[in-house]
């Protein structure tokens, strides 16, 4: 009889343990992680965060969500290759990979650790790439910001992505032997839709 009770008790404990992994985690059970704003801007003062879901904004501490993130311009590049996109990897940085991406439309990244921002449909201007570490090496599919900005910092606000506070001056690139200026769209599709709705 005792053996039977012990065996049943063990099954119950195992079942309870499995249920704990199957049920949604309570807010205080979710793991803590480093604030993405701190990682992107190189800050050591951000408190850890406990994301409630996978939304981009959930990975930032309250201070970064409500304020402006200043990132050295020498780590911000302009994205020219539309085939480059963020991967669904763990953490804020897209890391160099030689394998096949889970997103069939995305080529394996040959870039150093980076994050693509200002890339959602409600953004205006060029897509930007924030590098984890500054480099003077030419990078495929990217253009550095103009030399006059290299010693400054750019302000970004947190939303569904990082969006620059001010319009970012874009560099000249050579195409077909001629130097041309990259021109961002001045108005986002969301701004156009909002203006149309207001006029209706």
DSSP state of 81: -
Query: Is pLDDT above 90 for 94?
Result: yes
Per residue in 115-145, pLDDT (tens digit) is 999 999 989 999 999 999 999 999 999 999 9
Query: Is pLDDT above 60 for 13?
Result: no
Q: Name the pLDDT band for 6 (thresholds 50, 70, 90).
A: very low
Per residue in 52-73, pLDDT (tens digit) is 988 999 999 999 999 999 999 9
Q: Name the pLDDT band for 78 (thresholds 50, 70, 90).
A: very high
Three-state secondary structure readout of the chain: CHHHHHHHHHHHHHHHHHHHHHCCCCHHHCCCECCHHHHHHCCCCCCCECCCCCCHHHHCCHHHHHCCEEEEHHHEEEECCCCCCCCCCCCCCECCCCCCCCCCCCCCCCCCCEEEECCCCCCCCCCEEEECCCCCCCCCCEEECCHHHCCCEEEEEECCCEEECCCCCCCEEEECCEEEECCCCCCCHHHHHHHHHHHC
Query: Is pLDDT above 80 for 164?
Result: yes
Rounded to an integer, the average pLDDT of 148-152 is 91
Among 15-19, 41-45, 177-181, the range of highest mean pLDDT = 41-45
Q: Name the pLDDT band for 28 (thresholds 50, 70, 90).
A: low
Q: Which residues pair with 181 in a beta bridge?
A: 172
SS3 content of the chain, % helix, strand, coil (to 5): 30, 20, 50
Q: Of residues 44 and 185, which shows the higher confidence score?
A: 44
**pLDDT, position 89:** 73
Q: Is 141 left (phi over 0), alpha (psi -120 to 50) or beta?
A: left
Q: Name the pLDDT band for 92 (thresholds 50, 70, 90).
A: very high
Q: Of residues 67 and 177, which shows the higher confidence score?
A: 67
- The mean predicted confidence, pLDDT, of the chain is 78
């Amino acid at each position: 009889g005792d053996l039977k009770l012990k065996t049943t008790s063990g099954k119950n404990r195992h079942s309870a343990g499995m249920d704990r992994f199957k049920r949604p985690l309570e807010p205080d059970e979710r793991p803590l992680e480093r604030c993405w704003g701190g990682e992107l801007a190189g800050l050591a003062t951000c408190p850890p965060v406990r994301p409630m879901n996978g939304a981009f904004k959930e990975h930032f501490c309250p201070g970064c969500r409500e304020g402006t993130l200043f990132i050295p311009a020498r780590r911000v590049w302009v994205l020219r290759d539309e085939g480059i996109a963020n991967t669904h990897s763990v953490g804020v940085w897209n890391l160099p990979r030689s394998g096949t991406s889970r997103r069939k439309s995305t080529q394996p990244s040959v870039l150093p650790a980076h994050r693509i921002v200002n890339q959602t449909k409600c953004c205006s201007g060029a897509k930007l790439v924030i590098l984890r570490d500054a480099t003077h090496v030419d990078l495929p599919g990217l253009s550095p910001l103009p030399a006059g900005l290299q010693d400054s910092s750019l302000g970004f606000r947190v939303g569904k992505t990082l969006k620059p506070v001010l319009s970012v001056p874009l560099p000249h690139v050579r195409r077909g032997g001629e130097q041309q200026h990259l021109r961002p769209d001045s108005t986002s599709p969301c701004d156009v839709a909002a203006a149309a709705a207001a006029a209706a």
